[in-house]
Structure 1
Amino acid sequence: MKISQYDRVMLKDGRTATIVEVLEEDTAYIADVDLPGSDWDTVDITQDDIEKKLK
């Protein structure tokens, strides 16, 4: 699946995230993972961490 900057994704662990930077196309990303409330955590993720792209 093609993931671009600012796409919303569902991670395999059930969390949702927004891609804030594509480090390596189809491989590595920096994402803001949603936390309870209105907070987030910025983390590095890989394509293998992503379950699906959200609309």
Structure 2
Amino acid sequence: MKQYDTVELKDGRTGVIVEVFDDGYMIDVGSSPKDWDTIFVKNDEIKGLV
């Protein structure tokens, strides 16, 4: 996976990868500016590409 890919997380949320690290990704999740959040997730928390 690479920067700006859209992914589905195992918890059901969808997000966009904004930064790639050796041990995981920073992902923007949320549906609007009111609930956007940037979170760190590891590979095993990602279900797959959307």
1:6 alignment counterpart: 4
* Sequence identity (%): 48
The TM-score normalised by the length of structure 2 is 0.86
Uncovered stretches (5+) of structure 1, i.e. residues with no partner? none
Deviation at 1:33, TM superposition (A): 1.1
Distance 1:42 1:33 in 2: 6
Moved over 4 A (4+): none
Instruction: Compute the displacement of 1:49 (Å).
Output: 0.6
Query: What is the TM-score when the length of structure 1 is the normalising length?
Result: 0.79
Unpaired runs of 5+ in structure 2? Answer: none
Q: How many residues align?
A: 48
